[in-house]
């Protein structure tokens, strides 16, 4: 999902947290709740006055790395970038090709 807020650094004058800050906040707040470090933010888009992001998390580390169990979480943030809620939407092996 593309950044629809221009170049990504400005809040557009509406008080919304800039997209780069929202991405970092989504990952760090989810990490704090789950106790697992996020792997990446795979999507972020404006939603209402806030943001909706998809954060990829390693749920079970395995060797080789391609067999680790990953999960995608949808994270909802308010306009200040504070977490409103999250939900696991998908689980998969790291080496798996997306078949959705």
Closest CA to 57 of 26, 99, 100, 20: 26
In the chain, the domains with their CATH numbers are 19-93 (3.10.450)
pLDDT, tens only, 9-63: 445 567 899 999 999 999 999 999 999 889 999 999 999 999 999 999 999 999 9
Give the distance between the most distant pair of CA atoms in the chain: 47
Distances (CA, A) of 6 to 11, 24, 45, 75: 9, 18, 12, 21
Predicted TM-score of the model (pTM): 0.81
Give the whole-angstrom CA distance, residue 45 versus residue 4: 7
Q: What is the pLDDT of residue 99?
A: 60
57 and 88 Cβ atoms separated by less than 8 Å: no
């Amino acid at each position: 999902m593309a950044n629809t807020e221009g170049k990504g650094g400005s809040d557009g004058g509406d008080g919304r947290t800039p997209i780069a800050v929202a991405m970092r906040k989504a990952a760090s707040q989810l990490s704090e709740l789950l106790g697992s470090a996020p792997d990446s933010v795979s999507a972020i888009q404006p939603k209402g006055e806030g943001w909706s992001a998809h954060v990829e998390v390693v749920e079970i580390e395995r060797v080789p790395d391609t067999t680790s169990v990953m999960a995608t979480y949808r994270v909802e943030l308010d306009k200040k970038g504070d977490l409103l809620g999250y939900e696991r939407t998908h689980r998969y092996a790291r080496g798996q090709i997306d078949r959705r």
